[in-house]
Amino acid sequence: MRAIRVIAVNTFREAIRDRILYLFIGFAVVMVLSTKIFGMLTVGDEAKIVKDIGLAAIQFSSMLIAVMMSMLLISREVDSRTVFNILAKPVRRWQFILGKYFGLVAIVGANLIFITAVLVVVVRVYAHQFDPMLVFAAAMTMLEMFVLAAFATFFAVLTKPILGSLLTLAVFVIGHMSADLWLLTRQLPGTVTRAAIAVVYYVIPNLDRFNFHTEVVHDLPIPAAAVGWAFLYAAAFVVVVLFLAILRFRTRDLK
């Protein structure tokens, strides 16, 4: 466990030294601070608009960081040959992968906590409300990022950095279109086409399972079963995808 922790900490430190990270964080902060303007320009409950846009900014910025930082997970270590120094120590390849994964999760989580705190303050100042359910919605977004980070780690091992980032982005986009894909399987002609789309539907996680923004913004009841299934769903995908990443990295030629 010590090896995993050390690799995760080093990955976190490398990430916070990357200037592009602060560009994404700054973009998210500007989006949250600008929610007041959007609320004034849009017809409807201003407080709800502020919350809705703020939660969307948290999700979008977290996704961007997960996608972009995935480019640095494995490729930087391999290209600089430092991976050989790491693996020459009593560090197994599976520990290296898990360390990188937890480092990515840590940097995404730090961003999410910071932007959530900004949103809570903005809602308190603009709408004169303190809504603890915003923290719940952000926590479920973090659950989504656990899954996305697992795919980012897998693609970082599987392919080149840019392609890996594009594939991670594709998982995010398709994951939020999962319900539409299922409806598409019932409308398209041809058994082969429907089967292909069905495979995509089951292989790509349904990320809308972690999206409780509507319930939080409109004060709707949230079934405890839905939250419980979301945790189990995320855990299953994280375990399976990281297992595949470890298997691939064990057989990868690093030369």
From 79, 42, 35, 37, select the one nearest 58 (Cα to Cα): 35
pLDDT at 84 over 70: no
- For residues 59-70, average pLDDT: 85
Give the per-residue pLDDT at 85. Answer: 67
More confident: 70 or 121? 121
Check if the beta carbon of residue 132 is closer than 8 Å to that of residue 116: no
What residues contact 41, with CB distance under 8 A and at least 6 apart? Answer: none
pLDDT tens digits for range 4-41: 888 888 888 887 887 778 888 888 888 888 876 766 65
pLDDT at 44 over 60: no
More confident: 94 or 146? 146
Give the per-residue pLDDT at 236. Answer: 94
Bin 43: left if φ > 0, else alpha if -120 < ψ < 50, else beta. Answer: beta
pLDDT band at 189; cut points 50, 70, 90 = low
- For residues 140-146, average pLDDT: 94
- For residues 209-237, average pLDDT: 90
pLDDT band at 229; cut points 50, 70, 90 = very high
Distances (CA, A) of 143 to 63, 101, 173, 213: 12, 14, 16, 14
- Exposure b/e, 186-200, CB count within 10 A at least 16 = b: eeeeeeeeeeeeeee
pLDDT band at 113; cut points 50, 70, 90 = very high
- The amino acid at 185: T
**How many of the other CB atoms lie within 10 Å of CB of 163?**
12
Considering the entire predicted model, what is its pTM?
0.88
Give the per-residue pLDDT at 201. Answer: 73
Instruction: Share the mean pLDDT of the chain.
Output: 82
Give the per-residue pLDDT at 185. Answer: 65
Give the per-residue pLDDT at 34. Answer: 80
Q: What CA–CA distance (Å, rounded) separates 122 from 125?
A: 5
**How many of the other CB atoms lie within 10 Å of CB of 99?**
21
Looking up tokens 């490398």, which residue turns up?
14
Highest mean pLDDT among 10-19, 156-165, 207-216: 207-216
Counting residues of the chain whose pLDDT is more than 70, the rounded percentage is 85
